[in-house]
Amino acid sequence: MYPTLTLAPGRQKRLSTGHPWVYATEIASVDPRIEPGSIVDVVDFRGRFIGRGYYNPRSQIAVRLLTRKDETIDREFFRQKLLYCLKHRQKVMPEATSYRLVFGEADFLPGLIIDKFEDYLVMQVLTLGMEKQKQLLTELLVELLQPRAIYERNDVNVRELEGLAQVKGVLYGEFQPEVIIKENGLSFLVDMENGQKTGYFLDQKENRAAIAPYVKDRIVLDCFCHTGSFTVHAAHYGARSVLALDISEHAIATARRNASLNGLENSCSFQVGNAFDVLREMDREKRRFDVIILDPPAFTKSKQTLEGAVRGYKEINLRAMKLLPPSGILITCSCSYHMQEDLFLEVIESAALDVGRQVRLLELRRQSKDHPILLAAKETYYLKFLILEIL
């Protein structure tokens, strides 16, 4: 039914363990009928069926598998996939009204991200194979969820590797760029049109709730605060005061709005600045905080820049440790897949050694349940969240 792509000898092992990617260097031959973005059968060098997915000769990841069964890839196939994603979120996050509905490879829909913000959906299509299904996916989402609008945030560089243009715009319905969502009983303004990624970082939902016992009656510094999600949670959970710091004036303006939205503006103050520079200046001024939160953007998106990222993570955590009294709490994150868990812990330990401190690990957490981790695809585990006591 589908044209065939054959793997080179010995190149099926990773796929047989459950990983969904076929790299261009692993291919022995390609049926000449295969068009970019179309569905193909992947077979090993003996002709044995491995799986079915979509193909793009322009990409280093030439095939992304959609299924390992001999089944038709049609409207009903995608409907069942989306329905599975929806039922899974309703099961693991029954109270949530905003969540990641589809998380790419971990939901067996590689190259597709869909975030639900109350009655709105934001779709990110990262690959040519999914781009060819975009209209169908839009129709199915309307059928299954009846959203007020669907907006595409396909303004990401990775699309260019697939031969796709960067675009954003309304796919369905009456769209307004901002929406107020509920998270852990708090309200947050989400800019779906111009905010980072799809507008809000849903992957920290459970981690934000986890800070409650550590911030009550404490003086808190929230670095890289973005739109103030940790800031607002800390204030809500009883922090004596919270200083929110971010390099972006727009982010700080939104953080102020979020604090006011929850009636917490009197507990929060805000500062625009580079966290590395500000922490260094605070140390010179001998300022101290009971709790410091570090939630920086990814310092690396490739192996090639990992060494520089290690230096960056070490520096910012070292600076934070200097501002904490004995038994102060450091809440620190890495959202880079390449900064793997063991390495991140080593970086923290190295920073502590340099400032003569000991560290106790109180909690090691990961991304929220609407961002599932597929063990066969290590790339789906990216967020490390540590709660540490600095002795």
* CB-based contacts of 281, cutoff 8 Å, min separation 6: none
Tokens of residue 292, six digits: 């410091």
Give dist(CA 360, CA 389) in Å, integer. 5
Q: Which of 312, 293, 325 lies closest to 351 in space, CA to CA?
A: 312
- Which tokens in the block code for residue 10? 């010995």
Say which of 223, 225, 333, 335 is annotated catalytic.
Answer: 335
Residue 335 a catalytic site member: yes
- Which stretches does DSSP call E strand in the chain? 4-7, 21-23, 27-30, 39-43, 49-55, 61-67, 98-103, 112-117, 120-125, 149-154, 167-173, 178-183, 186-191, 219-223, 241-246, 268-272, 291-294, 328-334, 359-365, 384-390
d(Cα 135, Cα 127) in Å, to the nearest integer?
14
Cα–Cα distance, 108 to 379 (Å, whole number): 13
The continuous run of DSSP H or E covering 212 comes out as helix 212-215
Contact by Cβ (8 Å): 180, 261: yes
- Catalytic residue annotation: 335
